[in-house]
């Protein structure tokens, strides 16, 4: 099949090309993000391969469908950026990579927790400047604290398994209880209890209308003073303006983000020679107790290999008229 790969970076090319080596698929790599203005690039292709910040709204899908039936193959687990209703009505099947390496995201989540707790980002900068004072670097024993995990699916459970090794008390909230989470030591509670009792809140639920701005001003008001909030799921789980107020008042003691509500125009690009126009994002960067990474939690060799292998397998299954099990 002829595959138009959007939002391509060198690493996408490397891993997808390797995964497709034994197949007849022809991959063409476009650096452009997919949206309604770039969808025409896929005109002569059978498959549109998209990533997390591509925009697959109704207008884009309509343009994609214009030149015949196609498969939409997502290189991600999350699919909040796809208008599934429109895809269905246009006869465009959508497949995704539901699980590639939950461990990659879980390990990055815990890295953010530990770095914030022990102020590794600040210590690194200080030591390089010859400042070896410890003032302002006081941390806490993570293993003696309560961590609340919102969304106890594959990644939430992987986080729970790591933190149970630290000795943390683990609280969980989900719309479904997961026996793997219970086996990892998670005690299920309602959301209000999780907000009230957690020293660290870690978000692992998908972005849906129900989880949009789950962490808002009213939720923050019920959290512990000095709470640490970590979001490696999707930016809009957090009301960023409310979180900034929480940081200013000291209610939020640490904030770790791998995702941001408006990341589409920022992340995955080198903006070091430009002036960032997003004032909310710029404000976040000014806090000493905020650590932001640019949607890199998935970015391990193991995860990229698994994403590429599953994406190519999804395309092959579509070509052969088989169900891959990864259809949305
Ligand atoms: P998953 O489907 O295995 O788990 C998600 C869990 O959230 C499920 O248990 C589900 O029941 C629960 N959930 C759904 N609605 C909820 C609600 N309203 N309240 C509480 N829980 C709810 O998914 P996963 O593989 O664990 O991934 C979780 C999320 O992580 C993805 O949706 C994606 O947005 C994000 N993600 C981020 C990265 C990254 O690089 N930062 C990489 C992969 C995935």
pLDDT digits over 299-321, tens only? 999 999 999 999 999 999 999 99
In this structure, which residue's CA is closest to atom 27 in ligand 1? 155
Instruction: Give the mutation target among 160, 208, 233 for probing the ligand 1 site: most ligand atoms within 8 A of CB.
Output: 233
- Cα–Cα distances in Å, from 62 out to 30, 155, 294? 20, 33, 30
Q: Which residues are catalytic?
A: 234, 263, 295
- When pLDDT is cut at 50, 70 and 90, the band that residue 99 belongs to is confident
Q: Which residues fall within 8 angstroms of residue 96, CB to CB, at 6 or more apart?
A: 74, 76, 77, 79, 314, 326, 328
- When pLDDT is cut at 50, 70 and 90, the band that residue 69 belongs to is confident
In this structure, which residue's CA is closest to atom 35 in ligand 1? 233
Q: What is the DSSP letter of 269?
A: S
In this structure, which residue's CA is closest to atom 42 in ligand 1? 298
Region 206-229 average pLDDT: 97
Report yes or no: 312 and 20 within 8 Å, Cβ to Cβ: yes
- What is the CATH architecture of 2-100+301-319? 3-Layer(aba) Sandwich (3.40)
The atom of ligand 1 lying closest to the CA of 102 is: 25
Tokens 């149970």: give the residue.
164
The atom of ligand 1 lying closest to the CA of 297 is: 40
Instruction: Give the mutation target among 108, 155, 268 for probing the ligand 1 site: most ligand atoms within 8 A of CB.
Output: 155
Q: CB-side exposure of 131: number of CA atoms within 13 Å?
A: 11
| 2-100+301-319 and 102-292 in the same fold | yes
Strand partners, 186: 170
C-alpha 214 to ligand 1 mean position (Å): 13
- The binding-site residues of ligand 1, defined as CB within 6 angstroms of any ligand atom, are 77-78, 99, 102, 105, 150-156, 173-176, 178, 204-208, 210-211, 232-234, 258-259, 295, 297-298
C-alpha 76 to ligand 1 mean position (Å): 12
Whats the size of the chain, residue-wise?
328
C-alpha 40 to ligand 1 mean position (Å): 32
Q: How would DSSP label each residue in 179-247?
A: HHHHHTTEEE--HHHHHHH-SEEEE-SPP-TTTTT-B-HHHHHTSPTTEEEEE-S-GGGB-HHHHHHHH
C-alpha 187 to ligand 1 mean position (Å): 18
User: CA nearest 102: which of 181, 36, 174, 167?
Assistant: 181
Note the pLDDT tens digit of each residue in 162-202: 999 999 999 999 999 999 999 999 999 999 999 999 999 99
C-alpha 15 to ligand 1 mean position (Å): 24
Q: What is the DSSP letter of 134?
A: -
- When pLDDT is cut at 50, 70 and 90, the band that residue 100 belongs to is confident
Q: Can you tell me whether residue 144 is helix, strand or coil? A: helix
Report yes or no: 298 and 100 within 8 Å, Cβ to Cβ: yes
Strand partners, 202: 149, 230
In this structure, which residue's CA is closest to atom 36 in ligand 1? 233
User: CA nearest 13: which of 106, 75, 94?
Assistant: 75
- What is the CATH architecture of 102-292? 3-Layer(aba) Sandwich (3.40)
Note the pLDDT tens digit of each residue in 150-169: 999 999 999 999 999 999 99
Cα 219 to chain centroid distance, Å, stands at: 21
Domain boundaries, the chain: 2-100+301-319, 102-292
């Amino acid at each position: 099949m002829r595959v138009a790969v959007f939002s391509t970076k060198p690493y996408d090319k490397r891993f997808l090309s390797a995964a497709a080596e034994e197949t007849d698929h022809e991959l063409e790599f476009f650096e452009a993000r997919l949206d309604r203005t770039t969808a025409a690039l896929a005109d002569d292709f059978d498959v549109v391969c998209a990533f997390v910040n591509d925009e697959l709204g109704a207008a884009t899908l309509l343009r994609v469908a214009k030149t015949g039936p196609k498969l939409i193959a997502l290189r991600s687990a999350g699919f909040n950026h796809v208008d599934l209703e429109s895809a269905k009505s246009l006869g465009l099947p959508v497949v995704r990579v539901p699980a590639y390496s939950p461990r990659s995201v879980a390990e990055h989540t815990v890295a953010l927790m530990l770095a914030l707790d022990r102020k590794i980002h600040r210590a690194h900068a200080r030591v390089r400047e010859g400042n070896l004072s410890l003032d302002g670097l006081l941390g806490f024993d993570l293993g003696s604290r309560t961590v609340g995990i919102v969304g106890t699916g594959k990644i939430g459970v992987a986080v729970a398994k790591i933190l149970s090794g630290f000795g943390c008390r683990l609280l969980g909230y989900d719309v479904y209880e997961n026996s793997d989470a219970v086996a990892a030591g998670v005690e299920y509670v309602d959301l209000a209890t999780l907000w009230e009792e957690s020293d660290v809140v870690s978000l692992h639920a998908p972005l849906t209308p129900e989880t949009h701005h789950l962490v808002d001003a009213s939720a923050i008001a019920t959290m512990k003073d000095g709470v640490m909030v970590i979001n490696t799921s999707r930016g809009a789980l957090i009301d960023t303006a409310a979180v900034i107020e929480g940081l200013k008042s000291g209610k939020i003691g640490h904030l770790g983000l791998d995702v941001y509500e408006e990341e589409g125009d920022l992340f995955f690009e080198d903006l070091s020679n430009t002036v960032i126009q997003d004032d909310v994002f710029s404000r976040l960067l000014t806090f000493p107790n905020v650590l932001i990474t640019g949607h890199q939690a998935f970015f391990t060799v193991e995860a990229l290999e698994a994403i590429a292998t599953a994406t190519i397998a999804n395309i092959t299954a579509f070509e052969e008229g088989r169900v891959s099990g990864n259809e949305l």
